[in-house]
Structure 1
Amino acid sequence: MAKEILGKDNIELKVSLNSKEEAIRFTGNILVDNGYVEPSYIEKMLEREKVTSTYMGNFVAIPHGTEDAKNAVLETGISVVTVPDGVDFDGNEVKVLIGIAGKGDEHLEVLSKIAIVLSEEENIDKIVNTDSKDDIIRIFDEVN
């Protein structure tokens, strides 16, 4: 049976991070630790960030690997990290990090679901301020 794309183990709340690189590594390590990607995927996430920023606006960044990182993806999954005090992404403040790993083209479906959730500023506020991993899962599950 396939792993859950987003489970409680994939969520870290109210984390303090000091740099963009630390934020990307932290987000990627959740994916590694839970068996979604091989450790090499994190380097590809950092490589992607050098090519184009994964900052999306509204205090959100969505770090993910480059196209050639596909072979390091074991299962489709996402990690969610909240940073209420923010972390600097090249002059942009990020409070929600969502790491993505997708098998094949599955990441496109995951990305569209995430985009729908994050298009509502109210959802971003809820995600940043919650103390409950269940709340995060519920917010993402409400989108079909």
Structure 2
Amino acid sequence: MNQILEPRNVIAAGTARTRDEAIREAGALLVGSGAVSEDYVASMFEREASVSTYMGNTLAIPHGTNEAKESIRRSALSLVRYADPIDWNGQPVRFAVAIAGLNNEHLEILSKIAIVFSDEDEVQKLIDASSAEDIFALLEEVNAE
């Protein structure tokens, strides 16, 4: 497994103000890093239309549909943090973590992210982190095999 979360895919101050803008912002990082094609971002909206990707503890994990697997070139994550919570179907989101996984790798990646975000102290550290580099350092364990 390559590096799933790269420093360039972590944004400490996202600019989105709506759920759809946040999906686009997090998805654009995956496209920009070459992990997925543009089609994958469209499938992230399809997934959101069928089931909310809000996970709790200010986290949403937008990801594509099963039909979009051919749009994934390699497994990757992007993370965008928002200073002001975004309304995600009535829930406050401070972190949009877009995920793309080849060969069901996304399940392992999801479990690692869920572990971090299930700990309120860890979430607070991510909120308080002063830079994208600090956020990346706190999440680097998601790259461990």
The interval holding the TM-score normalised by the smaller chain is over 0.9
Specify the alignment match of 2:122 in structure 1: 123
- Write out per-residue CA displacement over residues 42-86 of structure 1, whole angstroms, 9 at most, x where no aligned residue: 000000000000001111100000111110000100000000201
Q: Report the count of equivalent residues.
A: 143
User: Does the Cα contact within 8 Å between 2:5 and 2:140 map onto a contact in 1?
Assistant: no
**Aligned residues: CA RMSD:** 1.4
Letter of the 1:7 counterpart: E
Shift of residue 3, structure 1, vs aligned partner: 4.4
Gapped regions of structure 2 (runs ≥ 5): none
Specify the alignment match of 1:80 in structure 2: 79
Normalising by structure 1, what TM-score? 0.93
Equivalents in 2 of 1:120, 1:14: separation in Å?
22
Equivalents in 1 of 2:127, 2:69: separation in Å?
30
Specify the alignment match of 1:29 in structure 2: 28
- Write out per-residue CA displacement over residues 89-119 of structure 1, whole angstroms, 9 at most, x where no aligned residue: 1111100110000011111110111111111
- Write out per-residue CA displacement over residues 108-140 of structure 1, whole angstroms, 9 at most, x where no aligned residue: 110111111111111111112212223222222
Specify the alignment match of 2:109 in structure 1: 110
1:1-144 map, 5 Å: 3-142=2-141
Gapped regions of structure 1 (runs ≥ 5): none
Normalising by structure 2, what TM-score? 0.92
Fraction of identical pairs, as percent: 41
User: Does the Cα contact within 8 Å between 1:96 and 1:124 map onto a contact in 2?
Assistant: no
Letter of the 2:24 counterpart: R
